[in-house]
Amino acid sequence: MAATSAERVLYAAKSRKWNSTQHNKFPIEFPVEHAANLEWIRKTEEEAARKRAEEELRGIENKAEQERNAMQQQQLQGARGGKARGEGFAGKWIVVGVVGVVIALRAWQRYQEGASV
């Protein structure tokens, strides 16, 4: 079943990019739609390029801001004379060692009590 002239124009308008770039007879059969499609393709590509540039710029700005924040944190820690996060864990291991020794001594005592009975 062949499409009517109005249906062909409707189909031509719906598949813009494929018709204007891949279909060889499209520019001949639908010159008005072809010109509109080419304009639409150009605008779409320009808009996509603009969005990519904006996102890239936004990413660069975010990275610079993160670096500034990191520098400020380092300066604040240096001014306070404080340690960076994760450097104060030596005391934790001392406590763990002492608790381990206490548990081992208590176990030894219980062992001795049981062996002497």
Single-letter residue type at 44:
T
Region 57-85 average pLDDT: 83
Can you give the pLDDT at residue 75?
A: 84
Burial class (CB in 10 A: 0-12, 13-18, 19+), 25: exposed
* 88 band by pLDDT with thresholds 50, 70 and 90: low
CB 12 within 8 A of CB 19: yes
3-state secondary structure of 94: helix
